[in-house]
Structure 1
Amino acid sequence: MSDHSWSPRSPGEALARFVGVPFDGQTYRNLAYLLLAFPLGIAYFTVVTTGLSTGLGLLVTFAGVPVVLLTLLVTLGIGSFERRLADWLLDVDVAAAPADVDLEFGSVEEALGTTKRILTAPTTWTGLVLVGLKFVYGVVAFTALVTAVALSATLISMPVFYDAPGVTYTLGPYVVDTLREAAAGAGLGVLLALVSLHVLNGVARFGGFLTDALLGGAARTAEDADA
């Protein structure tokens, strides 16, 4: 994992790091990760909860067993994709499971063996936890991103639109009706944008930490068990 969280050694370096966040390519990869978290979280949660609820409801018949197993396999696939996504966008190297689950259904014994491997793979269950957390994380990340962009853009655009017909800007109890006040609002917007980018970078890094803790930790546990 690349270190994007180095500690500055002087106030000048700290200021340069603070102001330079819009010029760091990792910032935009982090934002892409946050944007994808919302639709992916909804998709994961919908597919997995639908599959499990359907399969568990049908467990009184044999039809429920393959549905549950298929859903758990999808969960393993989600975990594998999330591991790669963290690597591509966040530069987080999440430890992979020692081996993929072998799928063999040629006989009853092979089918039972496959079922056992799916149910005993640690990433099956940590993947389920990740699906639930990804849904919450995606909603929070999307809300934070949209709020930060909307507030920053509104403030930065003050000098352009503060005197436009039908447009009224207010900062707390104050109405912005002069260019000087609008310029001050724009400066506040730039500051807010810089702070927001650092906060959003932190939110993205937390997503990488979460993925590594759940999937990488499960993979390391499996490796220790095989050792």
Structure 2
Amino acid sequence: MATEYGHGYESWGGERRRHRVPAGVRAPVEGRSWRELGYVVLGLPIGVVMFTYAVTMLSIGAGLLITFLGVPVLAAGLAGARGLGAVERARARVLLGVEVDAPEPLRPKGRGVMAWMGAVLRSGASWRQLLYAVVQFPWAVFSFGVAVTFWVYGWALLTYPLWFWVFPVWVGQDGLQLYGDETHAVYLNNPFEVTVTALVGLLFTMATPWIVRGLTMVDRGMVVALLGPSRLGARVVELESDRGVVVDAAAADLRRIERDLHDGAQARLVALAMDLGLAKEKLAEDPQAAARMVGDAHGEVKTALQELRDLARGIHPAVLTDRGLDAALSAVASRCAVPVVVDVELPARPVPAIEGIAYFTVSELLQNVSKHAGASRATVDVWRVDDRLMLQVIDDGVGGADVGAGSGLAGLAERLGAVDGILVVDSPAGGPTRVTAELPWRA
């Protein structure tokens, strides 16, 4: 979930709607301003609890480190800080619309309580969340004082024409006292002064939401920086996920090769062996029939060889190894059902792994063009930008391709993501379809 405000639009929970009232006018009464005020107000009592907990557990744990008791106390304190961090992430998500992923999980080196305590104490995320519990408190005090002061004074002055009668009736003075000493006093009681007071209150009321918004920007920064995953931890999780994708893809490829061998060349070779056995038996009694059977077997051998060549090309084409992407993609384009123009402009060849992924990416995209696009022509462009290899396949078909629709594009995007690649699909209904892939060069 993301929050985007500005230019007359509001987005919350994925919905985007246009406002006719300018942002400066509607800010004091719109939901976002009240949610942000609620975040700041709740921040003070929550900050007191977190600060007290963090300082207490840290002090006791550090003081007991001269004995073994300090280690479990510190571990328990850090574990509690992680729980408080989860509460703060939820509060930021509900009231500020900020989605922050949970930090990297604990990785105990073994089993048991000791391994768990060691994982907690080694976890940088645990210490960052404990740090958040400490630094959030003084900021919560400051932001609470500023926000509540501006908000209360703004609305009090704005509504002064509605309640200034309270002073002469219940307090015994003409109005709100602006100044007073032993000789004279100034009260806001005539129509002009009451009007000016309300206008000043209006300015305060209109400015307060933006002041609170600025205060919560600091809160957003602290939540993201201290309660979310670190860059290193996020990278480790991403690499683990990518490794799983690569392993699954490799297993799927092995199953496909096994299936193709079993159902294709292997079955054909078994039948060929049986035919040659029958021809051997008939060789003495019916040489002509045996010759015909040998001729048929020769045709089967050619077919089996062609299937094996196709299978080998599907694993890794020899033309790619020998001549590079330009020749290999031209060969793929020649087998496409529609005319394809290939333009490859590369100063050098990327590493073989990236070159192979680029080849199979274009191959799969052209297969989609042949089977599903309903196109009359297509183009393939390959070029290099800095340290990235760029691929683009465009067709003039019916469009409507979607990565998230459970198609082969989703699997292709996962494979590219496993090597830090990106797949972007632009395919409006009616076409054209433009698929752009970006891969690391790694030369």
Q: TM-score if structure 2 supplies the norm length? A: 0.45
Shift of 1:82: 1.1
C-alpha distance in 1 between matches for 2:64 and 2:138: 28
Match for residue 93 of structure 1?
A: 99
Shift of 1:205: 3.0
Shift of 1:6: 2.3
Q: Does 1:137 align with 2:143?
A: no
Count of equivalent residues: 219
Deviations 1:9-34 (A, max 9, x none): 9xxx8971100113321111111111
C-alpha distance in 2 between matches for 1:56 and 1:2: 40
Distance 1:209 1:5, change over 3 A: farther
- 1:168 touches 1:176 (CA, 8 Å); kept in 2? yes
Percent identity between the aligned chains?
A: 26
C-alpha distance in 1 between matches for 2:125 and 2:186: 54
Of the structure 1 ranges 188-197 and 205-214, higher mean CA displacement relative to structure 2 is found in 205-214
Deviations 1:166-204 (A, max 9, x none): 343328x96423122111111210121110112112212
Match for residue 224 of structure 1?
A: 235
Q: Which has the higher helix share?
A: 1
Q: Does 1:24 align with 2:30?
A: yes
SS at match of 1:50: helix
SS at match of 1:5: strand
C-alpha distance in 2 between matches for 1:120 and 1:61: 19
C-alpha distance in 1 between matches for 2:234 and 2:188: 62
Q: Does 1:210 align with 2:222?
A: yes
Gaps of 5+ in 2: 10-18, 180-184, 240-443
Distance 1:85 1:168, change over 3 A: closer
C-alpha distance in 2 between matches for 1:7 and 1:27: 16
Match for residue 161 of structure 1?
A: 164
Of the structure 1 ranges 194-203 and 56-65, higher mean CA displacement relative to structure 2 is found in 56-65
- 1:79 touches 1:123 (CA, 8 Å); kept in 2? no
Q: Does 1:44 align with 2:60?
A: no
- 1:37 touches 1:137 (CA, 8 Å); kept in 2? no
Q: Does 1:195 align with 2:207?
A: yes
Aligned residue type for 1:139: V
- 1:122 touches 1:222 (CA, 8 Å); kept in 2? no
The runs of 4+ residues in structure 1 deviating greater than 6 Å are none
Q: Does 1:116 align with 2:118?
A: yes
Shift of 1:117: 1.3
Of the structure 1 ranges 200-209 and 30-39, higher mean CA displacement relative to structure 2 is found in 200-209
Shift of 1:96: 1.7
- 1:37 touches 1:138 (CA, 8 Å); kept in 2? yes
Distance 1:179 1:196, change over 3 A: same
Aligned residue type for 2:116: T
C-alpha distance in 1 between matches for 2:228 and 2:104: 11
SS at match of 1:59: helix
- 1:90 touches 1:205 (CA, 8 Å); kept in 2? no
Match for residue 73 of structure 1?
A: 79
Distance 1:132 1:62, change over 3 A: same
Deviations 1:153-173 (A, max 9, x none): 3322432316622343328x9
Aligned residue type for 1:57: G
SS at match of 1:23: coil
C-alpha distance in 2 between matches for 1:5 and 1:217: 26
Match for residue 6 of structure 1?
A: 6
Aligned residue type for 1:151: Y
Task: Work out which structure has the larger RCO, using CA pairs closer than 8 Å and 6 or more positions apart in sequence.
Answer: 1
Aligned-residue RMSD, C-alpha: 2.8
Question: Alignment partner for residue 68 of structure 2, among 56, 59, 62?
Answer: 62
- 2:157 touches 2:197 (CA, 8 Å); kept in 1? yes
- 2:28 touches 2:208 (CA, 8 Å); kept in 1? no
Distance 1:138 1:213, change over 3 A: same
C-alpha distance in 1 between matches for 2:155 and 2:8: 29
Of the structure 1 ranges 177-186 and 149-158, higher mean CA displacement relative to structure 2 is found in 149-158
- 2:2 touches 2:99 (CA, 8 Å); kept in 1? no
SS at match of 2:233: helix
Q: Which has the higher strand share?
A: 2
Q: TM-score if structure 1 supplies the norm length? A: 0.84
